[in-house]
């Protein structure tokens, strides 16, 4: 996963797609989020569950444990193959399972002759519905009301297969609504959490992809035109 996605609907639209029926602690902003080019390090709306209900927060899209500062760069993604056992993600695997509501993501195909030449593609569900990225993060729970240094999240990624591997060899782990709700549950066993993301994510057949304008490569570019299909891709 190259590190760009979209989050342009309203929070309530994501929650409706999740079919969440428990109490919601956070207030819900009725305005569309309107982000068509979400880059790493920016703040992103995430969803997580506490013992008393669902919360939403805007967290930086990067994370590193306190002991890694100065030794390793913050991560934006966690490999599903090692997330459960990695020392880097050990604490947030236990306490920081969260969801990112998204509408799709971008990948870039490199020209085999000239690697500097790249064509972006947009990937979304064939149904056109919102999707749920499985994520891990450090964020406030019941015993903490203010954000603290080090709060942030990473998106869990897995291998691509079939036709999608031609676009990129990695992709976000996208969970169907029922399993996305289960992923957030504070009481879920660590073994079950690992099973959800390793074995039960949506298959490649659930997605479609098409070329889009290279303007998305500029982090300053925004707007719905970024996800429109183009007729003359360079690759």
100 near 7, Cβ under 8 Å? yes
CA dihedral 132, 135, 137, 141 (to 10 degrees): 40
- Element housing 94 (H / E): helix 90-95
How far apart CA 222 and CA 204 sit, in angstroms, is: 27
How far apart CA 82 and CA 67 sit, in angstroms, is: 19
Residue 87: how many CA atoms within 13 Å on its side-chain side? Answer: 4
Active-site positions read 2, 107
- Element housing 93 (H / E): helix 90-95
> Residue 191 — φ and ψ, nearest 5°?
-70, -40
How far apart CA 198 and CA 37 sit, in angstroms, is: 27
Angle at which helix 177-184 crosses helix 190-199, to 10 degrees, equals 150
Q: Mapping DSSP to helix (H, G, I), strand (E, B) and coil, where does residue 66 land?
A: helix
3-state secondary structure 128-196: CCCEEEEEEEECCCCCCCCCCCCCEEEEEEEECCHHHHHCCCEEECEECHHHHHHHHCCCCCHHHHHHH
């Amino acid at each position: 996963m190259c590190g760009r996605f979209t989050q342009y609907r309203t929070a309530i639209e994501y929650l409706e797609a999740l079919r969440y029926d428990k109490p919601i602690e956070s207030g819900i902003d009725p305005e569309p989020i309107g982000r068509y080019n979400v880059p790493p390090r920016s703040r992103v709306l995430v969803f997580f569950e506490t013992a008393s209900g669902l919360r939403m927060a805007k967290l930086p899209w990067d994370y590193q444990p306190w002991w890694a500062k100065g030794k390793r760069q913050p991560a934006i993604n966690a490999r599903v193959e090692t997330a459960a056992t990695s020392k880097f993600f050990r604490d947030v695997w236990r306490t920081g399972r969260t969801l990112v509501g998204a509408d799709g993501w971008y990948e870039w195909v490199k020209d085999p002759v000239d690697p500097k030449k790249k064509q972006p593609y947009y990937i979304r569900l064939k149904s056109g519905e919102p999707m749920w990225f499985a994520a891990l993060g450090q964020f406030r729970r019941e015993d903490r009301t203010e954000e603290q240094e080090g709060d942030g999240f990473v998106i869990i990624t897995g291998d691509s297969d079939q036709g999608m591997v031609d676009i990129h060899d990695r992709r976000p782990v996208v969970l169907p609504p029922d399993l996305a709700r289960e992923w957030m549950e504070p009481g879920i066993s660590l073994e079950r959490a690992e099973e959800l993301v390793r074995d039960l994510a949506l298959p490649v057949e659930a997605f479609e992809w098409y070329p889009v304008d290279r303007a998305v490569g500029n982090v300053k570019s925004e707007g719905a035109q970024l996800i429109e299909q183009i007729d003359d891709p360079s690759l």
